[in-house]
Amino acid sequence: MAPIAQQLNAQQVTAQQSTPSPVPPASAVSLTGLTRSFGARTVLDGIDLEFPPGQFVALLGHSGSGKSTLLRAVAGLDHDTVGTGELATPERVSVVFQDSRLLPWRRVLDNVLLGAPGREADGRDPAERARAALAEVGLAGRENAWPGELSGGEQQRAALARALVREPELLLADEPFGALDALTRIRMHTLLRELWQRHHPSVLLVTHDVDEAVALADRVLVLDHGRLAVDLGVDLPHPRVYRDPQLGEHRERLLAALGVRPDGGPAGAGPQED
Amino acid sequence: MADHVSSTAVVTAPERTVTRPAPGPVPESGPVRRATATGRPRTRRLSPGKRRPYARLLGPLLLLAVWAVASAAGLLDPRVLPAPWTVLHTGAHLWTTGTLRTDLGTSLWRAAQGFAIGLVAGVALALLAGLSRIGEALIDGTVQVNRAVPTLGLIPLFILWLGIGETFKIVIIAIVVYIPVYLNLHAALAGIDARYVELAETLRLSRWQFVRQVVIPGALPGFFVGLRLAVTGSWLSLVVLEQINATDGLGYMMFQAQNYGQTDVIVLGLLIYGVFGFASDSAVRLLERRVLTWRRSLSS
């Protein structure tokens, strides 16, 4: 892990020049007293959460903590669950799942075009927009490939392009890199951060990877037994350096909140004993 | 940008960690890897290997050869099974002077009509049942009951209702065809991957877009399974219909031959049915390969 982090640091210096574009007006995400239950089990227990437009929020939690339920509630995918509370989301929402969910019978370009806004939206050719989105995620030239011909990382890039072409005000991502290998995951982190800096949607990233959360997000939430246990602002400039002691502090705080002892963590803080 | 990460990682890592491979032969101490002539490790191939074109014809041709050899060697009594050339000769004779041409035409026309009606009905009912809960409640149970009744057992009733003309024959074939089409297409439509349903919801597809771009393409593999069963079924029912209740057609020809002890004509009829069944099944397979180009499986 350590050598990879160093590699990342070296190339991150150059990315600092890209100036963040002015934040476009978008409605903020707002949850008030959100409750969801399956049978007798309450999975979300009165969640209150607001975040301003353009904020990158990571949601951490154990499996079964309700983090996917929260994301599905915000995505409007929980038709059959019982719940109360208020929920306000922007008009344009895109979702990226852990699996790419590319339709195997449509070529990559047609997958990106699936449900994309037509020409009447802004006068631009949808196919051109889809090509541009594919180029942006590094898949230029693969437009006519079948999804089955792409690697796992490429499939997830295509899924990002499909999310991107809809110009979302809110991007919901449910462990989008969980199924990828470690190297591919780091490249995808860089890609997602670049896309976010360029388009500045609000992001809700559900993950179980503390490093992923602190490397990418402005704000990290920890969900525990259906309640928000930690709400941590990560006010560090992008791109972030893995060795940054501040990042290490955040990481350890979050690991502690998740009930994990930071044994031999790569952070500069050194080994701790309690 | 993203490429830098992995390329640097990939380039620098080997320099540090990997020791230079020793040139020349591997030292003999310790377990030595077996060398293979192809330069590949010896793994056992578990897929059946590459498919050769027209390989499917091998079995039928072999059968034909055995038949011919046995006839030539005098092992077969011509009254039991005439030689292939006798059958061919009879075929040529009936084609030029007899009724084979009209019988064949009649049979083909019946099969085609029944198949077309059955196909349209099966697809329509499967779409109605597969895409709406009301349709499913009305249709699915009814079809399951219909399926449980042997279709050929309906012949007496249909003759009473529709007369002994063409109509009842075509209706019977249509019923035999629609059932496998319906069953397989409905199962495929109902079994649509829930993950794709979620995806379509997040992409805010309209119901029509969802059906046309997600559900139907996803159900096509199942549809083709039903279509192949239906093609074979249409020929199967034709044999029975034409042998019991017909005044022309291939089955009638064979039925008449039975009365006069013409084994060669019976075998000719069977051969023609076999060839048409095989050809139509191959045509459906070909269509399937064209339509489902995205599929990569053992059969590709």
The 10s digit of each residue's pLDDT in B92-134 is 999 998 788 999 999 999 999 999 999 999 999 999 999 989 9
CATH number assigned to the domain comprising residue B188: 1.10.3720.10
Query: What b/e sequence results for A220-233 when a residue is b if at least 16 CB atoms lie within 10 Å of its CB, and e otherwise?
Result: bbbbbebebebebe
Closest CA to A164 of A94, A60, A66: A94
pLDDT given at position B32: 53
Q: How confident is the model at residue B28 (pLDDT cuts 50, 70, 90)?
A: low
Q: Is the dihedral of CA A225, A229, A231, A234 positive or negative?
A: negative
CA separation for the pair B82, B103 (Å, rounded): 22
Architecture of domain A1-11+26-92+169-261: 3-Layer(aba) Sandwich (3.40)
Average pLDDT, chain B: 84
How many domains, in total, are found in chain B?
1
CA separation for the pair A58, A220 (Å, rounded): 5
Q: How confident is the model at residue B36 (pLDDT cuts 50, 70, 90)?
A: low
Res. B281: pLDDT tops 80: yes
User: Does residue B40 belong to any structural domain of this protein?
Assistant: no
User: Does residue B25 belong to any structural domain of this protein?
Assistant: no
User: Does residue B49 belong to any structural domain of this protein?
Assistant: no
- Determine what percent of chain B is predicted with pLDDT higher than 70: 85
Q: How confident is the model at residue B25 (pLDDT cuts 50, 70, 90)?
A: low
For the sheet with A93-96, list strands across it. A93-96, A170-174, A202-207, A56-60, A219-224, A227-233
- Burial degree of B196 (CB within 10 A; 0-12, 13-18, 19+): middle
User: Does residue B59 belong to any structural domain of this protein?
Assistant: no
Do B34 and B42 touch, CB atoms closer than 8 A? yes
Report CA-CA distances (Å) from B196 to A177, A206, B42: 19, 20, 40
CA separation for the pair B268, B91 (Å, rounded): 7
Q: Do B209 and A15 count as a contact with CB atoms less than 8 A apart?
A: no
**Interface residue ranges in chain A relative to chain B, Cβ cutoff 8 Å:** 3-4, 7-8, 10-11, 15, 75-77, 93-95, 97, 99, 101, 103-106, 114-115, 138, 146, 148, 162, 166, 183-184, 186-188, 190-191, 194
Name which residue leads in pLDDT, B258 or B27: B258
Host H or E run for residue A84: strand A82-88
SS3 B45: coil
pLDDT given at position B49: 79
pLDDT given at position B18: 42
DSSP β-bridge partners for residue A233: A219
Tell me, letter by letter, the H, E, C secondary structure of A101-167.
CCCCCCCHHHHHHCCCCCHHHHCCCHHHHHHHHHHHCCCCCCCCCCHHHCCHHHHHHHHHHHHHCCC
Domain encompassing residue B279: 78-290
Q: Do B8 and A187 count as a contact with CB atoms less than 8 A apart?
A: no
Q: How confident is the model at residue B296 (pLDDT cuts 50, 70, 90)?
A: low
pLDDT given at position B161: 93
Q: What are B221's two structure tokens?
A: 């593999």
The single-letter code of the amino acid at A112 is: V
Q: Which residue stretches of chain A have pLDDT < 70?
A: 1-27, 121, 262-274
The strand pair at A219-224 and A56-60 is best described as parallel
> For chain A, what are the domain ranges?
1-11+26-92+169-261, 102-167
Residues on chain B touching A103 (C-beta within 8 angstroms): 196, 199, 213-214, 217-218
pLDDT given at position B295: 80
Sole residue written with tokens 């339709």 = A103
Facing residue for A105 by CB, picked from B195, B209, B218: B218
pLDDT given at position A196: 92
Q: What is the mean pLDDT of residues B22-51?
A: 64
CB within 8 Å of B103: residues ≥ 6 apart:
B248, B249, B250, B252, B253
The Cα of B47 is separated from the nearest Cα of chain A by a number of Å equal to 19
User: Does residue B35 belong to any structural domain of this protein?
Assistant: no
pLDDT given at position A262: 58
pLDDT given at position A17: 36
Lowest mean pLDDT among B11-20, B177-186, B219-228: B11-20
Instruction: Give the pLDDT confidence of A20-59 residue by residue, as tens digits.
Output: 444 444 457 899 999 998 888 888 998 999 889 999 999 9
